[in-house]
Copies of this chain bind each other. A is one copy, B any other.
Amino acid sequence: MATGRRAEKMEETRAKLIAAARKAFAEKGFAAASMDDLTAAVGLTRGALYHNFGDKTGLLAAVVHQIDADMAARAREIGQRKDGLWEALMAEGAAYIEMALNPEVQRIVLRDGPAFLGDPSQWPSQNACLAATMEVLEALIADGTVEPLDIEATARLLNGAALNAALWIAASEDPEATLPRARGAFERLATGILARKP
């Protein structure tokens, strides 16, 4: 394929800009981050940015996409590492909670993302995370562990609960102490979908 010197360099500048943006957006927030400063930090100008990403929100979208992809991959990996399906579901929930503790994730994906890119439930990567949860749910129902129910609705609420738990933890004074509380409450709520033992 040979890619060519041209495209190769371009991919490198894209990567540099995204990396710089990840840092700047996380530190100052999207609105307060100056594109001049951001590009200068990696030895470029706004010209490169507008050529590669269209506009400022285009760069944000690229950054969010990258972070989201990382998260989805990690969640899937963690889920597959567990043997029991139910344990996998709980582990995925816990993984979401822990990942959302990352300040970068919080600021960029959870706070600025929705404000400047629109509702997150439309984002492709979010749907990937959701799909992972839905898969596990489906298996759990086939398996009899969980009573038949609205898979999508349940998956969305579970993810939402986990997400909110993460925000709470991050804002708390003692995150280390809050995390197990959130985990516990999450698992407690989740038992609501378990099949009643006769």
Contacts and interface: CB of A to CB of B under 8 A. Distances in A.
Main secondary structure of the interface of A (DSSP, over half): helix
Interface in A157-196: 157-161, 163-165, 167-168, 170-171, 181-182, 184-186, 188-194
A153 interface: yes
A163 to B, nearest CB: 7
A115 B31 contact: yes
A121 interface: yes
Which one of A111, A157, A163 has the highest number of Cβ atoms from chain B below 10 Å of its Cβ?
A157
Nearest to A183: B153
Contact of A185 (B149, B164, B171, B191): B149
A110 interface: yes
3 residue pairs, one from A and one from B, having the closest CB atoms? A160-B164, A192-B192, A115-B115
Given A31-B116, A158-B189, 19 more contacts: A106-B119, A110-B114, A114-B115, A115-B116, A119-B167, A120-B167, A121-B167, A121-B168, A152-B181, A153-B181, A153-B182, A156-B168, A159-B164, A160-B160, A160-B164, A160-B168, A161-B189, A164-B164, A191-B192
